[in-house]
């Protein structure tokens, strides 16, 4: 059986770090094991355009593995060409790079390694909130440039304490973000999600559910997006929704770039409707050189805490999602198909998880 693995190329960075598993050089550490099972592994980072290696090999691959960090976009067109494709594995969390409706029509199973990097992302969200609210980036750039101007940075620097924070989605990541923020002494913590947290968890965390997204946004100084990308969240944060946010709020998005309309976010940062925006997710990935989020700034020359897609790919996370990928493959190769239920996104032509089921 042919297994196609799409990962980024690490080049020189792979040489000094064998724990960097999520790259073509280290192949999630699974080549020997796959070959020992009698299967063929083809690894590539070349994923764009009709002549790409991905397009060439998807034609007869039975399994495709990719990460959200360097996603091989498994579009409807590619699925139509992939006559043997039975299983798509996301080495990480978030399978929106696969056209799930098209996968269902062909009864292709899509699995991801649920929970494998949720702590990593939650830490990154807390960091990004602090970086934005405290105005860290311009302060750091200043010292690196040999300058010293406290006022230039202090005029746009605040405390997290006493602010209202809200999460869009309180699943594994959203919950962990609030858990980690709690000791900061926020004025209030709010959430908007189709699924309510059990009452005892709401109380333990000290969080309040708000039934309407607009109503929540109007109260928040800080908003963190932690829901999947699906048909009803694509382009959700557009000009109109951002205009319902408190003026001068900070917005952090480590969920998926396409949940926000790129130019509307950049315009909101420039106009002051948003004081700042940060996160690590873009569309497409890698982000084009002229993507507005690379250079957007607020009127103080601040308000940008963007990074490449790194939050869920710490070396600790890579170990977890590499192991989870191997477990999914083992379950498939052996014919047991005993996947962890929480790893299954679509199977037998239908959505398995509630989060993605919102697409329907």
Cβ nearer to ligand NAI, comparing 34 with 113: 113
The interface with ligand NAI within residues 102-141 (CB under 6 A) comprises 117-118, 121
Q: What does the per-residue mask of binding to ligand NAI show for 171-190, with x meaning CB under 6 A?
A: xxxx----------------
Binding segment (CB under 6 A) for ligand NAI, from list 39-47, 82-90, 180-188, 224-232: 224-232
CA–CA distance from 39 to each of 3, 42, 82, 88, 271 (Å)?
7, 10, 18, 16, 55
Which tokens is 101 given?
């409706």
Binding segment (CB under 6 A) for ligand NAI, from list 70-78, 221-229, 270-278, 282-290: 221-229
Binding segment (CB under 6 A) for ligand NAI, from list 15-23, 249-257, 265-273, 287-295: 249-257
Cβ nearer to ligand NAI, comparing 298 with 311: 311
User: Rule CB under 6 A: is residue 253 a binding residue for ligand NAI?
Assistant: no
Q: How far apart are CA 203 and CA 333, in angstroms?
A: 44
Binding segment (CB under 6 A) for ligand NAI, from list 37-45, 220-228, 270-278, 332-340: 220-228
The interface with ligand NAI within residues 285-324 (CB under 6 A) comprises 309, 311-312
Cβ nearer to ligand NAI, comparing 139 with 339: 339
Q: Which of 281, 252, 236, 277 is nearest to 94 (CA)?
A: 281
- E strands present in the chain: 2-6, 40-44, 63-66, 87-90, 109-112, 164-168, 188-192, 207-209, 222-225, 249-253, 274-279, 304-306, 344-347, 350-351
Length of the chain: 360
3-state secondary structure of 110: strand
3-state helix, strand, coil in the chain (%, to 5): 35, 20, 45
Which tokens is 351 given?
């959505």
Q: Is there a contact between 279 and 128 (Cβ–Cβ < 8 Å)?
A: yes
Q: Given 117, 226, 304, 318, which residue is catalytic?
A: 117
User: Rule CB under 6 A: is residue 260 a binding residue for ligand NAI?
Assistant: no
Whether 285 is catalytic: yes
Whether 256 is catalytic: yes
List the strands of the sheet with 164-168, edge to edge.
Answer: 207-209, 188-192, 164-168, 222-225, 249-253, 274-279, 304-306
Size of the site for ligand NAI (CB under 6 A): 34
Cβ nearer to ligand NAI, comparing 168 with 245: 168
Q: Is there a contact between 225 and 253 (Cβ–Cβ < 8 Å)?
A: yes
Give 85's strand partners: none
User: Rule CB under 6 A: is residue 254 a binding residue for ligand NAI?
Assistant: yes
Whether 336 is catalytic: no
Q: Is there a contact between 68 and 97 (Cβ–Cβ < 8 Å)?
A: yes
User: Rule CB under 6 A: is residue 325 a binding residue for ligand NAI?
Assistant: no
> Looking at 283, 328, 355, 359, which residue binds ligand NAI (CB under 6 A)?
355
Q: How far apart are CA 176 and CA 56, in angstroms?
A: 40
CB of 151 to ligand NAI, least distance (A): 34
Q: How far apart are CA 150 and CA 144, in angstroms?
A: 14
Q: How far apart are CA 178 and CA 205, in angstroms?
A: 7
Cβ nearer to ligand NAI, comparing 45 with 117: 117
Whether 179 is catalytic: no
CB of 153 to ligand NAI, least distance (A): 27
CB of 310 to ligand NAI, least distance (A): 7
What residue ranges bind ligand NAI (CB under 6 A)?
A: 92-94, 117-118, 121, 168-174, 192-195, 226-229, 232-233, 254-256, 280-281, 309, 311-312, 354-355, 358
Q: Which amino acids are annotated catalytic?
A: 117, 256, 285, 309
């Amino acid at each position: 059986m042919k297994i196609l693995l799409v990962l980024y190329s690490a080049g020189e960075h792979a040489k000094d770090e064998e724990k960097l598993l999520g790259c073509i050089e280290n192949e999630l550490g699974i080549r020997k094991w796959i070959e020992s099972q009698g299967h063929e592994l083809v690894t590539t980072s070349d994923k764009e355009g009709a002549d790409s290696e991905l397009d060439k090999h998807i034609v007869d691959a039975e399994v495709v593995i990719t990460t959200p960090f360097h996603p091989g976009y498994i579009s409807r067109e590619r699925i139509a060409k992939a006559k043997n494709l039975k299983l798509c594995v996301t080495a990480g969390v978030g399978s929106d790079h696969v056209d799930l409706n098209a996968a269902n029509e062909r009864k292709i199973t899509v699995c991801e390694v649920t929970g494998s990097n949720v702590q990593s992302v939650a830490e990154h969200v807390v960091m990004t909130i602090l970086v934005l609210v405290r105005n860290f980036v311009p302060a750091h750039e200043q010292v690196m440039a040999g300058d010293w101007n406290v006022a230039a940075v202090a005029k746009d620097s605040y405390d997290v304490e006493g602010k209202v924070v809200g999460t869009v989605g309180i699943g594994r990541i959203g919950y962990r973000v609030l858990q980690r923020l709690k000791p900061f002494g926020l004025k209030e913590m709010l959430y908007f999600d189709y699924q309510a947290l059990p009452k005892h968890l709401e109380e333990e965390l000290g969080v309040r559910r708000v039934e309407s997204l607009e109503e929540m946004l109007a109260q928040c100084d800080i908003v963190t997006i932690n829901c999947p990308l699906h048909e009803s969240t694509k382009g959700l944060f557009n000009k109109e929704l951002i205009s319902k946010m408190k003026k001068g709020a900070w917005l952090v998005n480590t969920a998926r770039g396409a949940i926000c309309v790129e130019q509307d976010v950049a315009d909101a940062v420039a106009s002051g409707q948003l004081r700042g925006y940060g996160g690590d997710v873009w569309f497409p990935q890698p982000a084009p050189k002229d993507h507005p989020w690379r250079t957007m700034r607020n009127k103080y020359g601040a308000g940008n805490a963007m990074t490449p897609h790194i939050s869920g790919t710490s070396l600790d996370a890579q170990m977890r999602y590499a192991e989870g990928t191997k477990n999914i493959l083992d379950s498939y190769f052996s014919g047991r198909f005993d996947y962890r239920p929480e790893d299954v996104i679509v199977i037998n032509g239908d959505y398995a998880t509630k989060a993605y089921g919102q697409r329907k």
